[in-house]
Structure 1
Amino acid sequence: MGLTSRPLLYAMIALSVACVGLTVWLWPRFAGRGPRAVLGRLGAIAATQLAVVAALGLVVNTNFQFYASWHELLGLYDGAPAAVGKWGDEGAAGPAGDPTKGLVQPSGPEGLDKVHGLPKGPPEKNGKVETVRIVGKRTRVVDPAYVYLPPQYFQKQYARQRFPVVVALSGYPGGIFLLGQHLRMPETAAKLVRDGTLQPTVIVMLRPTIAPPRDTQCVDVPGGPQAETFFAQDVPEALKSHYRVGHDPGAWGLLGYSSGGSCALQLAMRHPGTYTAAAALSPDYKVSNDPTTGNLFGDGKDRGKRREEHDLMWRLAHLPSPDVNVLIGTSRSGEKNYPAARAFLAAVRPPMKADSIVLDHGSHNFATWRRELPAALQWMSRTLVFPEEVVGKS
């Protein structure tokens, strides 16, 4: 059974209930003082606690999709992004990671069938959300994605029109399910487009973790996963090959929360020729090694230089300011990142521009980010340029 399957969840809940019942029933038999009675009590307590904790863990993981498979949970993909199996209709679409089969390939549900509030009905009236897998031409990374397409994408008068695109990144270790279900990205975008406060925009929802369970922080790891290359080069090239999205950087933006927000800032500031806007909700402002990342900077002579260049405060102080617009979401109380956010905003210099969403109180959670999301999307709508180019002429 799959890690997120309902049968496994229900079986573990049933096992937990059975363990509790057996413990209550057998407890009088373990009332003595001998070794067997003591071991019996300890065994009953341990078995019951393990079953309950496992059931609670499955409930949380099924709801938040932190790990989508046993392989991710056990870390079997930690070596490199190339070791992927076949997918699709018994592999009929070709081996995953093979760019000759297309840079955007069909995918299964990827949890989309569990997301509430998706557009329903005719796509030309309500828009549509589809699931795909994006294949890196250079990195051969495969990353699942939800793609929100606005109603105008399907309307005849827009048949040759290209659209602005926002690449939305989840935090770590979560995946695209969190962007759909808990951040409510498709539901919010559809409402704003319907109300006319968000220009018709293609929103591509991705997880920044390309080699789960390792947190690669959107960094090209020496001898390891090339996350920066994937998001800065492979993803835009793949989307341009498959969807009617703008080819000019002015039509491209990034949006993310937590570590996804950190990635959004890193990618925009390091690649202003690809992304010209980034909205970051509760981000960090530098990349550091920790137990989830491993060694991100390698052991070569350029290790220190690589670390410095992924420190955004260092970049603002020592490198030319990039021509990008950024939006920072933070809270005066409830989050630890408010002082760092103020320092970052104060360090921004032209031609870079910065705006902020500052809540009086908000914790590091989806309740906070959902409050910030509509304003962030509307800011993105005002910042990105609706492409003038049309299909067949660019």
Structure 2
Amino acid sequence: MGLLGWPLLVAAIVLALGCPLACVVLWGRVRGPAALPARLSLILACQATAILAVGVALNDHYQFFASWSDLAGQDGANAPIEQPGHAGGPPSAPHDFHPAADHTLEATFAGARSGIRSRVWVWLPPQYRREPRRRFPVVELFTGFPGTPTAWFHAMRGPEELTRDVEKGTAQPYILVAPTISVWPGHDTECVDVPRGPKVATWLTQDVRSVITADFRTLPGRDAWGTMGYSTGGYCAAKLPVQYPRLFRAGVSLAGYFTPSTPGLTRLPDENLPVVVRRRRPRVALLLATSRQDPGTTTAIDGMVRAARPPTLVDTYVVPRGGHNTGVWSAMLPRCFQWLTTELSRAH
């Protein structure tokens, strides 16, 4: 039984409902000196199963942990900090993509430049198989922290929405790439090349990109590459185009922020995006989206808008209601995919 999906959720709910019933039935059956500890155990069991059900439901919705090994911290342990390989060389481990859940492909590989070894998921649009000579633009997808890349294919329903939008003619087909960004267990690296730590920005901009371009029919050039992310991933989706305008044309930030929040990273001047945008004026386009009821995000967007000057283009998309959750962000996807279609190269 997996950690995500209805089987575990149903089992947890059944336990949470069944335990109080068992408590009522067994309460008076234990007498004597053993009665008190037995009844305390029953009460604790009821509380534990109720907490378990709530925890399973929250994890199923937000996808903090994707598997039992992820929960145990074993997946993150497979992403050591290593010395980079030779610049420009091939990845140091084979990147054989194989079928995974939600109609995706998955591979684990080591980055030649970053030294990070982790997992990447890829979703190919139906047109990719139907039109074998056609090349496609790419959108890299980032999640919040904690989180797992597969949330884009489950809770966010990114491929489902993109498929509908392509059928309606409001968006073009993209190759969706969801790389792991939580490569350092227990630490939010915020997609940064951490001083004396993992080179996460290098992993995302060079290693992942080189593997995707080698293994799939992608369009060449920066105009064919975009980003999209929510929460912490929204910071990543804005920062990569701003910092690497030769690699990315556009980025969509959903309820993101624009200065690092992790101690140790806040002092890095190149990670303060309003300052970088004001000074460098990168030739990129950003869509900054949020809800007015999501505290702090509208203020952060206003700061980016004030900092931007041509050729940096900043559009905003603010809905009146909604909190900081995937339900709000997934509802924004139609306009976000439509916006990306106006900014990125067309598949051909």
Give me the whole-angstrom Cα distance separating, in 2, the residues matched to 1:6 and 1:366: 18
Counterpart in the other structure of 1:67: 65
Give me the whole-angstrom Cα distance separating, in 1, the residues matched to 2:195 and 2:294: 36
Does the 8 Å CA contact 1:133/1:144 hold for their aligned counterparts?
A: yes
Greater shift after overlay, 354-363 or 203-212?
203-212
Change (3 A) 1:387 1:29: closer
Q: Does 1:257 align with 2:230?
A: yes
Give me the whole-angstrom Cα distance separating, in 2, the residues matched to 1:6 and 1:184: 16
Encode CA deviations 1:165-217: one digit per residue, 9 max, x unaligned.
11122222222332112222101111121222212322223343233443221
Structure 2 segments unaligned to the other structure (5+ residues): 82-89
Aligned positions, number: 340
Counterpart in the other structure of 2:51: 53
Normalising by structure 2, report the TM-score: 0.85
Counterpart in the other structure of 1:193: 166
Q: Does 1:351 align with 2:311?
A: yes
Normalising by structure 1, report the TM-score: 0.76
Change (3 A) 1:16 1:367: closer
Give me the whole-angstrom Cα distance separating, in 2, the residues matched to 1:142 and 1:131: 17
Does the 8 Å CA contact 1:150/1:202 hold for their aligned counterparts?
A: yes
Q: Which amino acid in structure 1 is aligned with residue 26 of structure 2? A: L
Does the 8 Å CA contact 1:198/1:377 hold for their aligned counterparts?
A: yes
Counterpart in the other structure of 2:272: 311
Pairing 1:97-246 to 2, within 5 Å after superposition? 99-102=91-94, 104-107=95-98, 109=100, 111-112=101-102, 129-133=103-107, 135=109, 136-156=111-131, 159-246=132-219
Counterpart in the other structure of 1:22: 22
Give me the whole-angstrom Cα distance separating, in 2, the residues matched to 1:6 and 1:347: 45
Q: Does 1:337 align with 2:310?
A: no
RMSD: 3.1
Q: Which amino acid in structure 2 is aligned with residue 216 of structure 1? A: T
Give me the whole-angstrom Cα distance separating, in 2, the residues matched to 1:76 and 1:163: 34
Encode CA deviations 1:274-325: one digit per residue, 9 max, x unaligned.
1111011110111122xxxxx554xxxxx83x2x2211123234x3111111
Encode CA deviations 1:223-255: one digit per residue, 9 max, x unaligned.
332211111111111110011112201111001
Shift of the alpha carbon at 1:257?
Answer: 1.3
Does the 8 Å CA contact 2:290/2:319 hold for their aligned counterparts?
A: yes
Pairing 1:288-299 to 2, within 5 Å after superposition? 288-289=261-262, 296-297=264-265
Does the 8 Å CA contact 2:242/2:277 hold for their aligned counterparts?
A: no
User: For 1:166, what is the secondary structure of its paired residue?
Assistant: strand
Q: Which amino acid in structure 2 is aligned with residue 323 of structure 1? A: R
Give me the whole-angstrom Cα distance separating, in 1, the residues matched to 2:347 and 2:160: 24
Aligned-pair identity (%): 33
Q: Does 1:362 align with 2:335?
A: no
User: For 2:315, what is the secondary structure of its paired residue?
Assistant: strand
Shift of the alpha carbon at 1:269?
Answer: 0.8
Give me the whole-angstrom Cα distance separating, in 2, the residues matched to 1:175 and 1:280: 17
Q: Which amino acid in structure 2 is aligned with residue 173 of structure 1? A: P
Counterpart in the other structure of 1:278: 251
